[in-house]
Amino acid sequence: MSFPDPIFRKRKQQEKPNLKAKDILMNFIFKFLHPYLASWKTTLAGIGMVLSGTSTIVHEVATLASGGTPDIEIISMAAGTVVGGVGLITARDANKSTEQSK
């Protein structure tokens, strides 16, 4: 029995490109980190917000661990700060000018 369908044929071996470590690193930077590095001010503001909110939450948890009562309003504002920081980190606004974003 013969199979005319090309799915069952043996595939040709493709040559693998000779990538050096430098090429792999540069490919990673441009493919994955470029959107975050291109809008570095927005990303830096987001990292600052995440660190600020996280430190506030850790402080309130430490207050709870030492027998105090944590303030729920502060925890909720800190959680909002963390979420806003993550939003700033993932924002992709590097390819738009100020006039285009209006």
- Distance between CA atoms of 53 and 101, rounded to whole angstroms? 28
Q: What is the pLDDT of residues 29-72, one digit of tens each?
A: 777 777 777 778 888 999 999 999 999 999 999 999 999 998 99
- Distance between CA atoms of 63 and 75, rounded to whole angstroms? 12
pLDDT band at 26 (very low <50, low <70, confident <90, very high): confident
Which among 22-31, 46-55, 82-91 has the top mean pLDDT?
A: 46-55
Residue 45 belongs to some domain of the structure? yes
Residue 7 belongs to some domain of the structure? no
Determine the structural domain holding residue 84 and report its residue range: 36-94
Residue 68 belongs to some domain of the structure? yes
**Contact present, 88 and 45 (Cβ < 8 Å):** yes
Domains contained in the chain, number:
1
Please tell me the pTM assigned to this model. 0.61
pLDDT greater than 60 at residue 1: no
Residue 62 belongs to some domain of the structure? yes
Look up residue 86 and give its amino acid: V
- Distance between CA atoms of 84 and 59, rounded to whole angstroms? 19
Residue 41 belongs to some domain of the structure? yes
